[in-house]
Amino acid sequence: MSAANRETVRAARLYRAFREEPPRRARRVNVDVPRAVAVMGPCEFIGYVTTHGGRTSVYIHEFSPGSRPLMAAGPKRNQLILVGGRYRVTAHGIVDLDARGRPVRARHRYKVIDLGK
């Protein structure tokens, strides 16, 4: 199996674990990784919308202090990048890691108000 096919299989496995359903299609994308970026600062949290079990949910992940990646921008449009940090994406979403690679939880520092309820 080629490296590209192995990556596709691993991405499909992660999708299935996280989204709790099999992917309907696979697509290879070309990512233009810039050689130089403007570092904007540490990423404190990230918000995203996804579906689980047919229901759409909003997730806010607050990074723990030692796990925070840097948010950086490439010189071209559409180049917003998370650089570094200690975290993994698993079936449970983003999981912060300590220096030894063990999962850790962030203390909530931000109050998120759900205006949709």
* Count of all residues that appear for the chain in the document: 117
Q: Does a structural domain hold residue 52? A: yes
Confidence of residue 117 (pLDDT cuts 50, 70, 90): low
How many structural domains comprise the chain?
Answer: 1
Q: Pick the closest to residue 82 from 30, 46, 32, 29 (CA basis).
A: 46
pTM of the model: 0.81
Q: Does a structural domain hold residue 89? A: yes
Average pLDDT, rounded, for the chain:
90
Q: Residue 57 pairs with which residues in a beta bridge?
A: 50
Q: Does a structural domain hold residue 77? A: yes
Residue in this structure with the two tokens 């997730």, named with its chain if needed: 59
Q: Reply yes or no on whether the pLDDT at 82 is more than 90.
A: yes
Range of the domain at 50: 36-117
CA distance 88 to 62: 13
Q: Reply yes or no on whether the pLDDT at 115 is more than 80.
A: no
Q: Does a structural domain hold residue 45? A: yes
Average pLDDT of 14-21?
Answer: 89
- pLDDT, residue 116, reads 64
* Tokens found for residue 97: 């890691």
Find the angle CA(12)-CA(18)-CA(22) to the nearest 5 degrees: 45
Q: Residue 50 pairs with which residues in a beta bridge?
A: 57
> From the CA atom positions of the chain, what is the Rg in Å?
16
The C-alpha torsion from 103 through 108 and 111 to 117, rounded to 10°, is 40
pLDDT in tens, 28-55: 788 889 999 999 999 999 999 988 778 8
- pLDDT, residue 100, reads 96
